[in-house]
Amino acid sequence: MDIFSEFINKNQRALAKLITLIENFDRAGFEILTRLERRHAENSPAKKSGAGKQIVVGITGPPGSGKSSLVDRLARKITASGEKSTIGIVAFDPSSPFTGGAILGDRVRMSNFTSPDLFFRSMGTRGSLGGMSKAISYILRIYELFGFDFIIVETVGVGQLEIDVVKMTDTTIIAEVPGLGDEIQAIKAGIFEIGDIFVINKTDRPGVDKIYCEIAYMLGLRRDKLLQDGINDAWQVPIVKTNCVSGEGIDELLAKIIEHRDLAHGTGRIAGNRKMRLCEQYLSFARDFIEDNVMGELSHDAEFKALIEKGSINIFSEDGGPNFKNVMLKMSKLLTEKIKSL
Ligand SMILES: Nc1nc2c(ncn2[C@@H]2O[C@H](COP(=O)(O)OP(=O)(O)OP(=O)(O)O)[C@@H](O)[C@H]2O)c(=O)[nH]1
Ligand SMILES: [Mg+2]
């Protein structure tokens, strides 16, 4: 299969194959991605940083809060609407490896529902955190290039990875549930500040009013703090109550996502996010290049070793001590040589 041409023809099998190549950090995948980027840049110069009204939505929250159920419900609504919108989903399975193995409920549920307008991908989180967030940033980019209208990523609460992923999205939904204890889980996870939409799911359970008041109170404090800093956010963060069993509240949730999308496109935030994501990928590539080509070689370098033996590098001082400059110059020499040989 010619993945490049099939991908352009919106063949989902080509999309799946490209993702697998990228997940495995296979060179062939990056070559295809580069060609796709080039084509994208040539074909849509005015929209280089993001097409139409695309949106990347992140959904996060404590384990079992109903994130997958919400995504499932949203996906049905989106594809059933008259607008013929398409949707690309990526979800993390907490423990299953990339290749599958014991796939959890997530995939089973989503696969009950297939449609040419919907693509679902599940990823394991066994890889290194850095590797995972890199892979996810590429997958989101591939989804953008494929042209999905809605791109949704479901994360699991694993600290840094969750924060990294949430940073990559345009709209962050935080799903809470009643009765988990006194503290709002997003505060515990350190992500309360970045929620654009709060969801209280499982409203068929007791304790809804209590958690609603807690979130509303915290959002009030958050807004006051922004105002003190002179920021008057045009977006009023909503709290949407949902029940995934009956489907209540899903219409309102989708309406809020669309409202946020329209506002974020209007303010240029989405275009800015796209640029930021591309910039991050570039920097990450550059970091890897330096790591592999300079840091790796440095430890075998006689001149470097001699500099170290001279001592006097002081990691506690701002300028690194008298010899630090020489070490950096040595590194920059190595880097220049590597760049010349590219
Ligand atoms: N009673 C009730 N159960 C729900 C609701 N939404 C989801 N559930 C159930 O809650 C359980 C967990 O739902 P998931 O959608 O898998 O939750 P999740 O947040 O994706 O879970 P992880 O990905 O494992 O963190 C499932 O058994 C769902 O059927 C709801 O509104 N009410
Ligand atoms: Mg899930």
Which whole number is the average pLDDT over 144-161? 85
**Tokens 């935080």 belong to residue:** 174
- What are 163-215's pLDDT values in tens digits? 888 888 999 999 999 987 767 877 777 788 889 999 999 999 999 999 999 99
Q: Write a three-state SS string for 86-119.
A: CEEEEEEECCCCCCCCCCCHHHHHHHCCCCCCEE
Q: Where exactly are the structural domains of the chain? A: 1-48, 50-267, 281-340
Q: Is the CB of 133 under 6 A from ligand 1?
A: no
pLDDT number for residue 23: 84
Q: Which ligand is nearest to the CA of 200?
A: 1
User: Left (φ > 0), alpha (ψ -120 to 50) or beta: where does 64 sit?
Assistant: left
Q: What is the mean pLDDT of the chain?
A: 83
CA 292–ligand 1 middle distance (angstroms): 43
How far is 316 from 328, CA to CA, in rounded Å?
16
Q: Which CATH superfamily is domain 50-267 in?
A: P-loop containing nucleotide triphosphate hydrolases (3.40.50.300)
Neighbours of 110 (CB within 10 A): 19
Say if residue 336's pLDDT is above 90.
Answer: yes
Say if residue 106's pLDDT is above 50.
Answer: no
- What are 282-327's pLDDT values in tens digits? 888 788 888 888 888 887 888 777 777 776 666 677 777 777 788 7
Q: Going by CA atoms, what residue is nearest to atom 32 of ligand 1?
A: 202
Q: Is the CB of 245 under 6 A from ligand 1?
A: yes
